[in-house]
Structure 1
Amino acid sequence: MEMNVTQGDYFTSYEDLEIHRLMLEDEPRTDTYRRAILGNKNYFKDKVVMDVGCGTGILSIFCAQAGAKKVYAIEASNLVKLAKEIVKENNFEDIIEVIHSKVEDATLPGDLKVDAIVSEWMGFYLLHEGMLDSVLVARDKFLKEGGEMFPESAVIYVAPCSVPQLYNKWTNFYGVSLSTFAKQLRASKSSKPEIMQISQENLLGAEIAMAWINLREDTVNDLNCYSIQHVVGASKTGQYQGLCVWFECNFPELSSGSRVVLSTGPEAKLTHWKQTVILLPEEQNVDEQEPIAFLLDMNRDKNSSRRYNLELTLLDPQEVEHPVPCTCDMTKCILIKVVMSQHTEHAMQQNGIIEDDPLDDDE
């Protein structure tokens, strides 16, 4: 499965104001960045900041509002003209310098190093579009030792799911059964990830982290491939129709407040990223605690660095290793859970955490 993005149309696509309207009006996205920046005014005060891929410049303005003494706003598309006007509109021309350049080609006066880098680089399933590469290049070129990254880490999660909104309606569509059409629809959609909203109730098992990205340390080569093999017991009886993929981004915790996290999961408020679903060509009926085994590979395309190929392989739960403890109903996993539970209870009794039942005072 793949999503196409060519180098030639990547930057010009971001000149479309409708894309920026969509991102600006994404309340969880914009408000999370605002809280992460303005909630750390003590840190940003008198700091030098770089905004990679500044777009309209709103993150740069948040940094200026937080007290940064200088912000270098880097933008490769022709949106720089608009960004400069917005900076002027907000009276930050003396603080924010908008630079028309790819960050890979940008230079700062006197080989200046910055205190922090902010960027909204995330694509569908986190890595689509490959903008994180540019952020890591900026880090290596411009960030001071010990400088901060906003966000500083990200996690990709996966979980099996149902997608009833795509298929259930075809069993009785205006009084006509179109199950044959639904079957062909599933087959046609299984070659490309679907961007859609999945509700928490349609997840069929607990999520597992597929990848954890450390923006302070990871290299561009570290982003080339990710893979996870997993077995999970179905959390309820249902139709296993796909694998749901989403991400979280964590911002530095520099003040006494709680950590700021941007989540795009089914349990979170909907963002423009929604969730990414890898659809199965044929659905599978599963019972509660029935094992669901899969292998998911995410590999950077060799011909286009901004594109990833996603490959889902369904595995036989009898033939692969299960996590310990496992949530499925296979006999070996049930026995392991029983043994682990007994061992834990014994250890707690040995440490006095669990006391024997007290004698009845009347006896």
Structure 2
Amino acid sequence: MQVILQCRYFVPANEVVKANNLTDKVIVLHGRVEDVEIDEEVDVIISEWMGYMLLYESMLGSVITARDRWLKRGGLILPSYATLYMAPVTHPDRYSESIDFWRNVYGIDMSAMMPLAKQCAFEEPSVETITGENVLTWPHVVKHVDCYTIQIHELESIATTFKFKSMMRAPLHGFAFWFDVEFSTPAISPANNHIPPVVVGSSNNHPMDGCQKKKRANPNEALVLSTAPEDPPTHWQQTMIYFYDPIEVEQDQLIEGSVVLSQSKENARFMNIHLEYASGGRSFVKESVMR
């Protein structure tokens, strides 16, 4: 069996192979996937390509390149599928710590600093951990990624529209983004690498872009790594897009708009985020860059 294991760190990988007496079984190739040469097709491609907000750092493109160059018909890609979600959140503690602090700093009124404090705290996306209690609605699927079929050009710009209904009365402080990845085994070989395989132990009922997902369907049918707020924390945490000022929403109030995620022309590893949203008859636009 031929396996591609994508690794950023060449020397430690070689040392690990030697320490485990696997030099006769594992060959470490030093170089970018786009540049190295392999003389035969492979059975499995393994890569931890997921960045914050799933697509930050744009490493999925390397997996696609490896898939198209070397994966055998019916070969396995791990992880196999990924889904990016978003939902409106309330987080008064975070807002208070960052902003309200300046109203009274050890008895001194520093409220003149609040506009600058808001810009410093909330201009760019923030990677942090929240809980399910912070989330106001069921999540919306921003993008579902099928690693067997997705093409590089699809990652250049991802757009979706959303419509949420708040489940409670609370201040809306922004939107949270998180993702799941699924590890699945193909059962039969497709005619070519760009046709998704039939998957053993999966419902083949993956969430579609733009839908809302109330509950993971049949979670025991596939191995899933989740970075959702209600699941155990991971180093990916959740990515937060905060507003400069909270919006008071009532129970059942609609929150709707659109979001566009695009690769930065300044640096392909960066992500531009264009968020438009409306609630209670007011409309807003938030532009930010994840660097």
Q: TM-score range by the shorter chain?
A: 0.7 to 0.9
* Alignment-derived partner of residue 186 in structure 1: 118
Is the 1:155–1:249 contact (alpha carbons within 8 Å) kept by the matching residues of 2?
yes
**Cα 1:113/1:200, change in 2 over 3 Å:** same
Q: Distance in 1 between matches of 2:69 and 2:114?
A: 51
Matches within 5 A, 1:190-339: 190-253=122-185, 258-315=221-278
Establish whether residue 126 from structure 1 lines up as the match of residue 65 from structure 2: no
Q: Distance in 1 between matches of 2:128 and 2:238?
A: 6
**Cα 1:183/1:163, change in 2 over 3 Å:** farther
Aligned-partner SS, 2:32: coil
The structure carrying a bigger helix percent of its residues is 1
Unpaired runs of 5+ residues, structure 2, are 187-199, 202-219, 284-291
Larger Rg: 1
Establish whether residue 96 from structure 1 lines up as the match of residue 26 from structure 2: yes
Q: RMSD of aligned C-alpha atoms?
A: 2.3
Is the 2:169–2:251 contact (alpha carbons within 8 Å) kept by the matching residues of 1?
yes
Is the 2:160–2:258 contact (alpha carbons within 8 Å) kept by the matching residues of 1?
yes
Q: Distance in 1 between matches of 2:111 and 2:169?
A: 21
Q: 1:84 aligns with which of 3, 14, 27?
A: 14
Cα deviations across residues 82-130 of structure 1 (Å, max 9, x unaligned)? 211111111111111011111111112xx20001100001111011111
Q: 1:148 aligns with which of 48, 72, 76?
A: 76
Aligned-partner SS, 2:27: strand
Q: Distance in 1 between matches of 2:37 and 2:90?
A: 49
Q: 2:5 aligns with which of 44, 48, 51?
A: 51
- The number of aligned residues is 248
* Alignment-derived partner of residue 191 in structure 2: none
Aligned-partner SS, 2:235: coil
Q: Distance in 1 between matches of 2:63 and 2:126?
A: 26
**Cα 1:158/1:180, change in 2 over 3 Å:** farther
TM-score (norm 1): 0.63
**Cα 1:290/1:184, change in 2 over 3 Å:** farther
Is the 1:296–1:310 contact (alpha carbons within 8 Å) kept by the matching residues of 2?
yes
Q: Distance in 1 between matches of 2:79 and 2:96?
A: 39
**Which one-letter code corresponds to 1:202 in the other structure?**
N
**Cα 1:317/1:96, change in 2 over 3 Å:** farther
* Alignment-derived partner of residue 205 in structure 2: none
Cα deviations across residues 143-170 of structure 1 (Å, max 9, x unaligned)? 0112110011110000001222322243
Is the 1:227–1:296 contact (alpha carbons within 8 Å) kept by the matching residues of 2?
yes
Unpaired runs of 5+ residues, structure 1, are 1-46, 56-78, 321-363
Q: Of the two structures, which has the highest relative contact order with CA contacts closer than 8 Å and spacing of 6 or more?
A: 2
The structure carrying a bigger strand percent of its residues is 2
Q: Distance in 1 between matches of 2:104 and 2:43?
A: 58
**Cα 1:167/1:191, change in 2 over 3 Å:** closer
**Cα 1:173/1:249, change in 2 over 3 Å:** farther
